[in-house]
Amino acid sequence: MSSTLLERTRELHESIERYELMIVAEQSEEPKTQKDSVIQSHCVNHYLEQSIKCANDLKKIYQDEDGQRKADLSAISGQGPAIFSNFYDKLRELKDYHRKYPTLEIERIGSVLNYTPTLSFSGNEAYGRFLDLNEMFELYLNLPFVQKNIDYITYLSLFSKFNYNDISRFKNAKYKQYLDKLYQYLASFMERSQPMFDMKSMNESNEKEFEDKWNNKEFDPSADNNNNNKSDSNGHNNNNNNNSNNNDNKNEETTADESMDTKETTTAATATATATTDDTSSPLYCKACKKLFASENVYNGHLKGKKHIKLEELLQKSQSENGGLVIDMVAFNHKSRKPTSLLEYQISKLGELLDDQVQETKESVIKKQSRSIKEIEDDMNTIENEIDDIEIDDEPIKLRIANYPVDWSGKPIPYWVYKFHELGVEYKCEICGNQSYWGRKAYEKHFQEPRHSYGMSCIGIPNTLHFHHITKIKDAMELNKKIKEINASVSFKSDKDEEYEDENGEVMNKKTYEMLARQGLIKKRKAN
């Protein structure tokens, strides 16, 4: 059909307008939850991509490289009687086509208006609110040069920070695999949580910046202008957990003791070297290992290590072979480090973009460590149904409980105190006028309070221990009746319970004794 190309052009223009209307409709509503916000971003991104796709197709049609559009226009713009003949020819062609395919469905570009994205977030990610780096943390701990006693919260603070003063980590193949998986996860998280972010442009910009810095030798540990994270190295570089330049002496002594006991001086040396400046003239500077130590004890312990002895031998050998020139034995080919360094640079840039999520993740992990499993599950279930996006600084469970008790300062009490005292359990007492008491302690205490005593006196029942834990008026009256019956059956009666003895020594009760005495059948015994 000759008019197919022109009809497609009209349909593409219509589709672009429809997608623009869908974008306006999506952004006219403010998302209430994190999930709604992510869904809205995915929908808008989908409509934008489809609009761009339609615009690219239109561009190709208008360029008309094959001349088909020009031919179609000339075919429908005949002169004189040819106008009507061309029209009826097209009409006949359309009728023959639809007669041949009577069940043909109409296909329209963008016929499905509503797009429902499929979100693939784990439970810990909470629809892009937090990062889930537990798998990366396990891979990180399995690296041979990593300190094993760091926790997950510390890892969240250092996973995107790198120190280029020591490049020995590049020799490990597992480290490259770890960086690949970490970068893939961070890039995937950005695409899932922020679909409208242009990752391609960011990667191109990062690669350009990296090339400039690489050419300026900013990633070369031997260069003078290397200021890349010189004071805030992470665990990727021999596992320095200390992000400050002011470690106290106690930490240094502890590191020294561990170094002396275990003979593993690499970790201790790195920890102290990063905490101080690299002064090669200092007597505590090790030329073989290129490390500066903070104290003499740590330095002396380091000299006994196997790694230092091996590097010292290599240093002396290289000096003798190269006329006294010191060769860095832990460095290797400059070009072989470039791909791994680029990965580190990209991860550091992604870490900067995800700084807010990292901070919220750390605070969320700290809160989870102080909660029970049931509380964590309840909190995760309510994230989807929350009306407002509650900040992580607040205690969500407290905000969902009506009349949550506060302490003397007006702040909500800790949640474990709330659960321990059962302050969420309501007890009602009918005797007190259907008064509510929250918590077992308040419920037990109210039986001795004036309100309950007054209620008991109104129904004519004494407020004794027998009636504790009785809150219904009917139950209290039935119990009182039963107690009276029991007391009546065990009460002392003089005519039946008093015993008398006649002159013959026979014992009988008072009533029988007096009746027989009046009849003269027995004689009353005289009192001595």
- Name the pLDDT band for 280 (thresholds 50, 70, 90): low
Q: pLDDT (tens digit, 9 = 90+) per residue, 169-214? A: 777 788 888 889 999 999 888 888 888 888 888 888 888 888 888 8
Q: Give alpha helix (H) positions in 116-264.
A: 134-141, 152-158, 173-193, 199-215, 249-262
Mean pLDDT of 333-343: 77
- Which residue do the tokens 């003798």 mark? 320
- Name the pLDDT band for 39 (thresholds 50, 70, 90): confident
Output 325 or 155, whichever has higher pLDDT: 155
- Residue 381, pLDDT score: 65
Mean pLDDT of 335-350: 84
Q: Which two tokens stand for residue 441?
A: 């302690």
- Name the pLDDT band for 55 (thresholds 50, 70, 90): very high
Report the distance separating Cα 297 and Cα 52, nearest Å.
66
Q: Which residues of 167-194 are buried (b: 16+ CB within 10 A; e: fewer)?
A: bbbbeeeebeebbeebbebbbebbebbb
The answer to which of 143-147, 189-193, 290-294, 393-397 has the lowest mean pLDDT is 393-397
- Name the pLDDT band for 400 (thresholds 50, 70, 90): low
- Name the pLDDT band for 430 (thresholds 50, 70, 90): very high
Report the distance separating Cα 498 and Cα 508, nearest Å.
8
To the nearest 10 degrees (0 to 180), the angle between helices 68-75 and 4-27 is: 110
Which CA distances in Å does 94 have to 71, 72, 75, 76, 472? 18, 15, 15, 14, 87
- Residue 210, pLDDT score: 86
Asked if residue 128 lies in contact with residue 34, where contact means CB atoms within 8 angstroms, the answer is yes
Dihedral angle at the C-alpha atoms of 105, 110, 115, 117, nearest 10 degrees?
A: 100
- Residue 275, pLDDT score: 36
Which CA distances in Å does 272 have to 151, 251, 256, 269, 293? 20, 9, 9, 5, 5
Report the distance separating Cα 138 and Cα 143, nearest Å.
9
pLDDT surpasses 50 at 399: no
Mean pLDDT of 17-21: 88
Report the distance separating Cα 213 and Cα 322, nearest Å.
30
- Residue 95, pLDDT score: 86
- Residue 81, pLDDT score: 67
Q: Which of 98-107, 268-277, 418-427 has the highest mean pLDDT?
A: 418-427
Nearest Cα neighbor of 162 from 227, 249, 246 is 227
Asked if residue 202 lies in contact with residue 349, where contact means CB atoms within 8 angstroms, the answer is yes
- Residue 452, pLDDT score: 92
Q: pLDDT (tens digit, 9 = 90+) per residue, 451-498? A: 999 999 999 998 888 888 899 999 999 999 998 888 877 766 666 778
10 Å Cβ neighbour count for 19?
24
pLDDT surpasses 90 at 519: no
Q: pLDDT (tens digit, 9 = 90+) per residue, 281-325? A: 677 778 778 777 777 777 788 887 888 888 888 777 766 654 443
Report the distance separating Cα 294 and Cα 304, nearest Å.
17
- Residue 227, pLDDT score: 45
- Name the pLDDT band for 394 (thresholds 50, 70, 90): very low
Mean pLDDT of 268-281: 42
Instruction: Name the percent of the chain in helix, strand, coil, to the closest 5.
Output: 55, 5, 40
- Residue 526, pLDDT score: 63
Residue type, 37: S
- Residue 211, pLDDT score: 85
Number of residues that make up the chain: 528
Output 1 or 160, whichever has higher pLDDT: 160
Residues whose CB falls within 8 Å of the CB of residue 504, separated by 6 or more in sequence, listed in order:
522
- Residue 321, pLDDT score: 53
Q: pLDDT (tens digit, 9 = 90+) per residue, 496-508? A: 778 888 777 788 8
